[in-house]
Structures are given as C-alpha cells and as structure tokens.
Amino acid sequence: MRTGAGVEARLPIRSDMDLVWVRQHVRQAAAQLGFGLVAQTKLVTAASELARNTLVHGGGGHMEVEHVVQGSVDGLRLTFVDEGPGIPDLKLALSDGYTSGDGLGMGLGGSRRLVHEFVVDSTPGAGTSVRVTSWAGLPPRPREEV
C-alpha cells in the first residue's frame, strides 16, 4: 500500500461546530476519491461518531485525514487523537450496547462495522487514537462473530 502526500488535513475537534466541519470534510474528500453515496454516508457516520467520542470522552483533540492507495483502489484513512483519560476496558467499549454516557452505545462498535479497517490504541491516563480506513468501491467489511 502506498499513501498519497501523507497527512492531507488536520482538523481540530474542540466544539460541536468542529464536528460539523469534520463531517463536511470527510464527505467532500470521499466524494473526490470516487466513493459512492452509500460508502460516503457510512464513512461520514463513522467519522461523526468517532469525532463526538474524541470531544465528549477525550476532552477534544484532532482528526487527521490521509489519502491512501492499495493497488488501483483509493481510500481514506482517518485518525482521531485525544489526550483524554483513555479507555480502561477496550473489549467492553467495543461491545454492542455499551455506553459510558447518555449515548446509544453504537460509537466504537458501530463505527468499526462501517469501515474496512479499524485500529484503536488507548492507554488509560494517556489518551486514545482511533484509525479507520475505507476503500472506494470495495464491498463492505464482513460481519464479525461476537
């Protein structure tokens, strides 16, 4: 896999308005790379959930956007970074129905199902990084056994 020009954008996530900018930026970038409407919507939904988690649970942070290429397939890699309290039980946080707040519990687990690649790096007390990648024109990620 080769990447484009590295990190192409770094957007702050410090307020609800920043969440709007994240969604708009991801939709525009996905459309430019040839993502269909359904694939755009899935990626924007995942980005919205992860950005909200960065703001609400991580105390704010940023999102990095990178154009990646695998063979002849274009993709978008989004990395959400915060320096918050971290995730004490990652397995629990990824389980369906889990919520640590007022949400529906679809944040991490739901986001994972909407993208092709999903990696979380979290250390309690040292913050969290969530990296997701979606590929234009590839079939959805296979459903994982629970």
pLDDT in tens, 52-75: 999 999 999 999 999 999 999 999
Q: For residue range 19-55, what is the model confidence (pLDDT) as tens digits? A: 999 999 999 999 999 999 999 999 999 999 999 999 9
| Dist CA 111 CA 137 (whole Å) | 18
Burial class (CB in 10 A: 0-12, 13-18, 19+), 4: middle
Write the DSSP string, 22-65: HHHHHHHHHHHTT--HHHHHHHHHHHHHHHHHHHHTTS-EEEEE
pLDDT at 146 over 50: no
The answer to whether residues 111 and 63 touch, using CB atoms and an 8 Å cutoff, is no
| Dist CA 116 CA 141 (whole Å) | 5
Q: For residue range 79-130, what is the model confidence (pLDDT) as tens digits? A: 999 999 998 888 888 876 666 665 545 678 889 999 999 999 999 889 999 9
